[in-house]
Structure 1
Amino acid sequence: MTTDDADVATRVASFLGGEPQRNEGGGGGLAHEVLTSRESVRILLDGPDAVAARMVLQGIKGIIHECDGVEFLSPEEKKGQPCGCPPLFENRKLAAKNGRSPMPSIDITFRIAAAPALGPFHFMTTSWQMAAQLSDLLNALERVDGPAVCDLTMELVVYTTKTGRSVCYRKPVVTVLGTPDTVAPEPPPPAEPTPAPAPSAPRRKARPAPEPTTPPAPQSSHSVNVDAVLLRRAAQVLGTGDHQETVIAALSEIVAGRQQTTELARLREDVERIAAIAGQALQGRDYSLT
């Protein structure tokens, strides 16, 4: 942005970033410039009249053709007469490329939305892309019916031609946002990227602790087989009345004074076998002996 006022340059820099400096190549008395750090500037446009557009062909001695695409705008003796430009936009663009037809000359008068008191600025461009969107822009400004808040953006365009050549340039784009009552004078700052968490060692997913449960009663997996004849003979010797009492008596050797020692000696081997089987049955809580 260029200006003839050093104070204005300083304030522009405070709003849009950058540093004010001398305009070494500037003419027209605009001695100061600010190279902003913005790709987009929020501006105010005072209706459709803020946009002036024409088609101009410059010659060695100045303008040799000036029209609106349909009629001449100058010189005075030709004003209002058909200019002869191609009716189709693409044909006009092709003719201008060949030097046979005028090019767009667009002047947008605006104020900085965050500091309208700084006065009017002019954005001037010969962009065919801007010329192509002029109709939509003017219609949008008419719908606002008053000062309109807009974004003036230098949009980056990158593409590769059919011959494989990379092309990169910026085109101006004006986007109508609304009225000053509904749109903030400054766009919200871009959100800072959330820093990625520091890498950490992989963790195993914790397994939930098992709920405490009451251990089930052990199921018997033993089958106790005892010779019934032998068990009855032991009961006769020990003087017991049932199988369980017989086994307990054998284990406790409660036999004193009740039977003959010789008979016990003869049966001792069998009783020890019964005791071993009974022990296994008692551990498995299976008192059924068959």
Structure 2
Amino acid sequence: MSPRKRLIGELLSEFIAVMIIITLGDSAAAMITLYDPSPYATAYWGVCIAWGLAVTLAIYVTGAVSGTHANPAVTLALVLFRGFEARKAPLYIVAQIAGGFVGAALVYQLFQPVIDHYNTLHGVTRMDGGAAGVFFTHPGQFITPMHAFWDEVILTAILLLGIFAITDQANTQAPMANSGALAIGLLVACIGACGGFLEAWPLNPARDFGPRLFCFFAGWGPAAFPSPDNYWWIPIAAPILGGIVGAGLYQAAIRPFLPASA
């Protein structure tokens, strides 16, 4: 296979991976947001599992082609610590954001009548941010934007610490290749279960930015960009910083002491 054809396949893989994650994950968000009573009202763990299984499915579908970064924070951490080609990183990130955009469009196709009914019932419009939580993230109760920033640094650091451990062939306690996807999905679900109410656990700039960009053009306008309190940049910058911190911590404090590295 030529390098050009291989790169095209990798970019398509990243696009499809994020599209899968957003289509399924944001659909779970729609189920908890738009329906009363919500099927998840007393079982929030179900939302977390849905997001985690969406990640697992994306890895099973695309992992053999691109490795399923599916997250700019993962791509940049791999450039810094695992030798991923830096020249590919911007293309991967664009593909990931495009996948988030199209995934949000598919969720809109599925739930648009329910979104409109929800907004009418609650006397809000898209410009007011009505049902925006289906698509992109925002601070939860009592959380300021800057507090949210540090929350997402911490949570994404945990995510990348786990991903680097799970995918490290030198780590004898890591799951084997065929079960690594499930372990990463469960890690995402666990983080959501432990911190999802803070800011809907973005952890992934493409997960937030792609759907936010779609919503800007689909009628949400300033509720998406720049969003209340100019929040839009936090789910981009904080996960990137957190990813570097978590991956760097693994590489510096764990990997050198593994038996296989001794």
TM-score calculated relative to the size of structure 2: 0.21
Where is the helix percentage greater, Structure 1 or Structure 2? 2
Q: Normalization by structure 1: what TM-score?
A: 0.20
Bigger proportion of residues as strand:
1
